[in-house]
Amino acid sequence: MWSTLFCSPRTSRSTPRYTTFVAVRRSNDLPRWTEIRPPRNRIPRLELRGAWDRRDLALVLAQRTLKLRYQQTLLGIGWAVIQPLAALAIFAVVFGRIVGLQSEGLPYAVFVYPALCVWTYVSTSVTAAALELVEHRELITKVYFPRLLSPAGAMLPGVVDLLLSLGVTAILLVAYDVSVSHALILLPLWLLCAALVALAAGVWLSAINVRYRDVRHALPFLLQIWFFATPIVYPSDLVVGPSRWLYAVNPLVGVIDGLRWSLTGAPAPPLADLVSLLVLIVVLVSGLYYFRSVEGRFADVI
């Protein structure tokens, strides 16, 4: 009688990913034989449950990064507030007074600052996630764990900075006598969407950066374009007509519009911002599948 043992796919530095089927005869008079076949399904399984079960590892990686970020600094975590405030001072003078951009009936400082906080989080998180695998290659080559936890863990330290910097918004609202509406209850939803945008872009770029190191050089330029394509220092209603639907392909457009609506009482996001949500879902899901399809070769090319 024969019994069949199924072994889960394995990935090593020298062995490609294959599914192994081992058939063993119960008697000891015949040798054991092994048959190795490639997986039949071309679409990889995401296996997000395995990453979720080991989420504590992402927290450990995030804690390590957070400690190193402000180690031996004079102001420490105060830099989380200084950076958006410094950018606010520059944009308030250039775009608020000199150029005279509209701000949807809000004081320009109140209009720009929350969007700057979100952009600072997204840009720093995308950069950290894109470079995480390459900068800590010893984890990839020597230790097995769900690789998705590496870029995901690189995004978590920025959450602390985001919450601290957004706290200054309350001071600006009181100083400029701006009242909030019932839409404030949706603020966590927009912050979650901002984190998903950073995760979607970070997963794509981290996987590509393992094979093509051009990502490190192109990333500052891409982030600069992304900044000006996002309604941070100007209102999104400047783009009108059919172009508004094309403009909403940027997933951060809907996030910024929703954030301003919830936090500062700005006009509600238009219907075109649904395109931002759909693009976010497509980019995130496709990024997860791409990451999963190539992570088996990370140790060979990193």
Tens-place pLDDT, residues 220-267: 999 999 999 999 999 998 998 889 999 999 999 999 999 999 998 888
The candidate with the shortest Cα–Cα distance to 259, out of 197, 184, 199, is 184
Please give the pLDDT value at position 228: 93
Mean pLDDT, residues 133-139 taken together: 82
- With bands split at pLDDT 50, 70 and 90, how would you rate the model's confidence at 29? low
Among residues of the chain, what percentage have pLDDT more than 90? 39
Please, what is the end-to-end C-alpha distance for the chain in angstroms?
A: 45
- Backbone φ and ψ for 8, nearest 5 degrees, come out as -70, 155
- 159/143 Cα distance (integer angstroms): 27
Q: Which regions of the chain does DSSP assign to beta strands (E)?
A: 2-10, 18-25, 33-37
The candidate with the shortest Cα–Cα distance to 278, out of 208, 200, 207, is 200
Please give the pLDDT value at position 81: 84
Residue 126 confidence (pLDDT) above 90: yes
Please give the pLDDT value at position 40: 56
Q: What is the pTM of this model?
A: 0.80
Q: Is the model more confident about 118 or about 16?
A: 118
The position carrying tokens 């950076």 is 83
Residue 8 confidence (pLDDT) above 70: no
Please give the pLDDT value at position 252: 95
**Cβ atoms of residues 6 and 21 within 8 Å:** yes
Lowest-pLDDT range of 24-33, 89-98, 183-192, 272-281: 24-33
- 260/258 Cα distance (integer angstroms): 5
- With bands split at pLDDT 50, 70 and 90, how would you rate the model's confidence at 118? very high
Mean pLDDT, residues 33-45 taken together: 58
- With bands split at pLDDT 50, 70 and 90, how would you rate the model's confidence at 49? confident
Residue 92 confidence (pLDDT) above 60: yes
Cα three-residue angle 98-250-49, rounded to 5 degrees = 135
Please give the pLDDT value at position 179: 86
Chain-wide mean pLDDT for the chain?
Answer: 82
- With bands split at pLDDT 50, 70 and 90, how would you rate the model's confidence at 65? confident
Residue 21 confidence (pLDDT) above 60: no
